[in-house]
């Protein structure tokens, strides 16, 4: 797997909590699969202390980014709920076998 562009779909989507993280996990599938995530440390499970390298304000900014990303994805896919993102067509690119970018194929919806 080198640099390539792959046509595929969203095969899984989860919004919630996982291992102390809160946010959105999206699995993209085509000729191979990869997961993209938009997450932050869950404020109910992970508290800011003198040992964290981020502040509550930093976390608030990350949570805002997550919600804006969810809104963008719902808009682009022309759906109202996160679970409706499943099977939406996507294009994703890899560089060096790692996910680089991805987008919903709005032109085919």
Residue-by-residue DSSP string for 76-88:
HHT-SSGGGGTT-
Q: Please check the confidence at residue 61 and state whether its pLDDT lies above 90.
A: yes
The two most distant CA atoms of the chain are separated, in Å, by: 49
pLDDT at position 22: 98
Contacts of 68 (CB under 8 A, 6+ apart): none
pLDDT band at 97 (very low <50, low <70, confident <90, very high): confident
pLDDT of amino acid 3:
85
Domain residue ranges in the chain: 4-108
Q: Is the pLDDT of residue 107 over 90?
A: yes
User: What per-residue confidence (pLDDT) applies to 2?
Assistant: 64
């Amino acid at each position: 797997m080198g640099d390539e562009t792959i046509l595929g779909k969203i095969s899984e989507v989860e919004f919630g909590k996982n291992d102390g993280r809160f946010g959105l996990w999206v699995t993209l599938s085509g000729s191979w699969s990869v997961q993209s995530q938009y997450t932050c440390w869950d404020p109910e499970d992970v508290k800011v202390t003198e040992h964290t390298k981020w502040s509550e304000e930093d976390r608030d900014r990350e949570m805002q980014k997550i919600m804006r990303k969810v809104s963008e994805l719902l808009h682009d896919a022309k759906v109202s709920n996160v679970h409706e993102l499943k099977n939406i067509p996507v294009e994703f690119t890899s560089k060096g076998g790692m996910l680089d970018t991805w987008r919903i194929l709005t032109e085919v919806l």
